[in-house]
Amino acid sequence: MEPTPETAHRRDEGIVLAAGSVSIAIMISRLLGLVREIVLARYFGAGMRTDAFNIAYRIPNLLRDLFAEGALSSAFVPTFVRTLTREGKEEAWLLANRVISLLLTVLAVVTLGIFFGAKLFVYLLAASFASDPEKFELTVQMTRIMSPFLVCIALASAGMGILNAFGTFFVPALASSAFNVCCILAGIFLSPHMPRWGMDPIVAMAVGALAGGMAQFIVMIPSTRRHGFRFRFDLKSSDARLRHILNLMVPAVIGLSATQINITVDSQLASIFGDGPVSYLNYGFRLMQLPIGIFGIAIATVTMVSVSRFSGQVRTTLGSSLRLAACLTFPATVGLILFRHEIVALLYEGGSFTAADTLKTSQVVLLYALGLFSYSAVKIAVPVFYALDDTRTPVTVSLLTVGIKIVLNLILIVPFGFFGLVAATTAASWCNLGLLARQLRKKTGAFPWAEEIRSYFMIVLASCLMGIVCLTVFRISWLITSGPDVLEQIFRLGTAIAAGIAVIFPILRILGVEEGREIPRRIRALLGRSS
């Protein structure tokens, strides 16, 4: 049934308000994540130790994307929402208990596999580390410490799905802040004491990551209990709904495996270039995760729940979500391109992180920034397929994309070194989005880019005009202060960013982009609700 204009307006308003709530929570978490990366950079730099930590952390993180936050969320949330809507709370709680019981059983075995097979996992992700025994053993040690991380994050993901189904988005989005706080505290306060226990100082970051995973799960317990959830171990595999979730998860895992293959290939290739490149790629991508998390994941989370409830309104819901993402990510892209060196220097440079590290990381940021909208849009589009019970299409597209990425890696790594890996990632992300758009449009007619090409052109134009204003303000600020002091850097960069925020929405309104009017109004409404 087609929505009435009033219904559509209420739905769009709900998407913006809910996405705004999630954005605030994720913004807090991402900012804390940025502080975590600053601590990592300032205390440990970009070299052997940070490369070892990044590979060790990547092992449970890859499996988390496969079995927890990625596949589980995509399969569990739509099924749980339908059970809650059609069968009531009791049946929904029964389903949640069975899903969590199965997760605990399977992932306990996976955790043991990571712990005892740590050397194999490290070799699979960074075989060249074997040529440096100290680096290899340090990576293995941290991998074993973080092996239970996967179980904690899977439980947190299940709790997030439950709360999202009840329309609670803020608390689960904020939960990862607990993880970042634990890592920050471990880096600052625990690392100086590690040598007295016979361990490298950076091992403290692995301990902090494990503690953070536990905290991320624990902080969601009070909210789920308020909704009435009580965990009971129940491993009844004959539940048709559980089998439905598993049927959705299997192709989702296959599809996400393609992404993990890309990451694994990137890790292997980057590690060939010696100490540093693995860390440069990590620091650059962490900067990208700030806008992706704030905009892409927030909008995707709300869109998936909305489509699960109102499957007949896919076209208008998705169109609104993508325009909203474009209005936020294109200006962010321009800002990152223009001020990438200043941002990296301000955030990371100092202590063990040198000016040479800043230059290389800023070049990585430039290449990643070119794909900011495509990263965010893919995160919005993929859950829509799962909400419509279509798992085959995202899997097929993902497998095609991994092939494209590997081919691009091989082509670009020769002339550009490890920077070619980043360029290949960005190009493959745009290919991924194009393939998804084609399939979703063919399936539902729900990717209305052709009709809205003018809107996207105006958003790009507005972002470029904003960039001119930002650059002008930044150059004027150099006339006021041009010193290297941190406060002076903050002043120059802060005035440019403030100018961009001040002009982007008026420019969007002048160019006739409706979101230029709607986003500020919804932000005011959201702030009014929270005050």
Question: How far are the Cα atoms of 139, 149, 252, 295, 357 from residue 30, in angstroms, in the given order?
Answer: 25, 19, 26, 11, 22
Helix pair 277-291, 48-67: axis angle to 10 deg: 50
Assess whether pLDDT exceeds 70 at residue 268.
yes
Question: Quick count: other Cβ atoms within 10 Å of Cβ 286?
Answer: 22
Comparing 367 with 398, the larger pLDDT belongs to: 367
Query: For residues 511 and 460, what is the distance between their CA atoms, to the nearest angstrom?
Result: 11
Assess whether pLDDT exceeds 80 at residue 516.
no
pLDDT reported for residue 308: 45
Query: Which residues are CB-contacts of 328 (< 8 A; sequence separation ≥ 6)?
Result: 291, 294, 295, 519
Buried/exposed 20-52: b ≥16 CB within 10 Å, e otherwise: bbbbbbbbbbbebbbbbbbbbbbbbbbbbbbbb
Q: Can you read off the two tokens belonging to residue 308?
A: 């699960």
According to DSSP, residue 451 is labeled: T
Three-state DSSP state, 350: strand
Matching residue, tokens 């739509």: 78
Query: Which residues are CB-contacts of 420 (< 8 A; sequence separation ≥ 6)?
Result: 408, 409, 411, 412, 413, 414
Contacts 24+ apart (CB under 8 A), 482-486: 486/346
Helix pair 48-67, 149-165: axis angle to 10 deg: 50
pLDDT reported for residue 60: 79
Alpha carbon 355 to chain centroid, angstroms: 27
**pTM, whole model, 2 decimals?**
0.74
Assess whether pLDDT exceeds 60 at residue 460.
yes
Query: For residues 94 and 134, what is the distance between their CA atoms, to the nearest angstrom?
Result: 49
pLDDT in tens, 56-101: 988 877 766 665 555 676 677 778 888 888 888 888 899 889 888 9
Q: Which of 58, 47, 50 is nearest to 266 (CA)?
A: 58
What number is the average pLDDT over the span 260-276? 80
Confidence of residue 530 (pLDDT cuts 50, 70, 90): very low
Please check whether residue 81 is in contact with residue 88, taking contact to mean a CB–CB distance below 8 angstroms. Answer: no
pLDDT in tens, 49-61: 999 998 998 887 7
pLDDT reported for residue 452: 72
Three-state DSSP state, 412: helix
Question: How far are the Cα atoms of 348, 404, 416, 509 from residue 238, in angstroms, in the given order?
Answer: 52, 39, 53, 55
